[in-house]
């Protein structure tokens, strides 16, 4: 046995002191800057939502208004087309009803003036010239309107005992004043004078003066709406020279 070992004293066990453990650090608190950023983001999102909502409402309103305008225009166009078609059909029917045309015959002693006129027109003889003087007849669709210088009828027929030159003077004076236009037409193979504008009786229409022997036939329409029929009448005029 080793005497050195037995004689030496071994110090008792002493634990090694250790530093106490520190508690874990507390989580960092959001500062004021973080709150401000959050508020800004929320405000931005709100504004973006409001702007988006405004544009959605605006464009939707524009769409609704444009669609309403378009629907209205389409409805008006359809109504106008239907009205136009109805008018065209009525005009076609009225034109067909005029056929076959009837024949007008004036007195034999005054040149036997004749022409064709729509059968839907009525005829009124104002003066028959049985005892001389002027001959007067009036024609109008359905029925003749009361005869006067200002009443409108589709056609007035006068065979005047005045000479052609004297009858023409009244119209030529109005031509000089610019109230009437004039042109030479061929009627029954002979020259006739056609006037259009404000007539001597102040009505706006047309008149044709025809020389028949020593007399003057005056065919007149009292309104421009009858001009087409008036032109057809003139193309059918015949008389004895």
Q: Write the pLDDT tens digit of every residue in 109-145.
A: 999 999 999 999 999 999 999 999 999 999 999 999 9
Q: Say yes or no to pLDDT of 11 above 70.
A: no
Question: What's the topology of domain 102-235?
Answer: Protein Transport Mog1p; Chain A (3.40.1000)
User: Of 125 and 100, which is predicted with more confidence?
Assistant: 125
Q: 0.85 exceeded by the pTM?
A: no
User: Of 35 and 177, which is predicted with more confidence?
Assistant: 177
Residue 14 CB neighbour total at 10 angstroms: 6
Q: Say yes or no to pLDDT of 14 above 70.
A: no
Q: What does the pLDDT read at residue 6?
A: 47
What mean pLDDT value characterizes the chain? Answer: 87
Q: Rounded distance, CA 218 to CA 233, Å?
A: 13
- Contact (CB, 8 A) for 215 and 167: no
73-98 per-residue burial string, b: 16 or more CB within 10 A, e: under 16 = eeeeeeeeeeeeeeeeeeeeeeeeeb
Q: What does the pLDDT read at residue 27?
A: 56
Tell me whether the omega of the peptide bond preceding residue 50 falls within 30 degrees of 0, making it cis: no
Q: Rounded distance, CA 142 to CA 175, Å?
A: 33
User: Of 18 and 184, which is predicted with more confidence?
Assistant: 184
Q: What does the pLDDT read at residue 240?
A: 96
Q: Which H or E run includes 3?
A: helix 3-7
Q: Rounded distance, CA 42 to CA 36, Å?
A: 10
**CA distances (Å), origin 188, targets 103, 136, 145:** 15, 20, 29
Residues 6+ apart with CB under 8 A from 29: none
- Tell me the average pLDDT across 175-188: 97
Q: Say yes or no to pLDDT of 21 above 70.
A: no
């Amino acid at each position: 046995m080793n005497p050195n070992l037995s004689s030496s004293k071994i110090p008792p066990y002493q634990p090694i002191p250790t530093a106490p453990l520190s508690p874990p650090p507390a989580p960092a608190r959001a500062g004021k800057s973080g709150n401000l950023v959050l508020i800004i983001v929320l405000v931005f999102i709100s504004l973006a939502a409001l702007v988006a909502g405004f544009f959605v409402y605006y464009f939707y309103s524009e769409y609704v208004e444009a669609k309403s305008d378009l629907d209205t225009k389409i409805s008006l166009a359809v109504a106008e087309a239907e009205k136009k078609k109805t008018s065209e059909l009525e005009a076609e029917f009225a034109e067909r009803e005029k056929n076959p045309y009837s024949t007008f015959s004036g007195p034999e002693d005054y040149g036997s003036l004749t022409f064709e006129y729509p059968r839907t027109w009525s005829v009124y003889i104002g003066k028959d010239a049985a005892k001389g003087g002027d001959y007067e007849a009036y024609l109008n669709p359905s029925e003749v309107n009361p005869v006067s210088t200002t009443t409108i009828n589709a056609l007035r027929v006068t065979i005047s005992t005045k000479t052609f030159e004297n009858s023409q003077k009244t119209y030529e004076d109005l031509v000089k004043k610019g109230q009437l236009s004039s042109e030479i037409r061929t009627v029954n193979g002979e020259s006739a004078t056609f006037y259009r504008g404000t007539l001597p009786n102040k009505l706006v229409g047309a008149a044709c003066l025809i020389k028949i022997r020593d007399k003057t036939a005056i065919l007149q329409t009292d309104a421009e709406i009858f001009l087409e029929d008036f032109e057809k009448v003139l193309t059918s005029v015949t008389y004895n020279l």
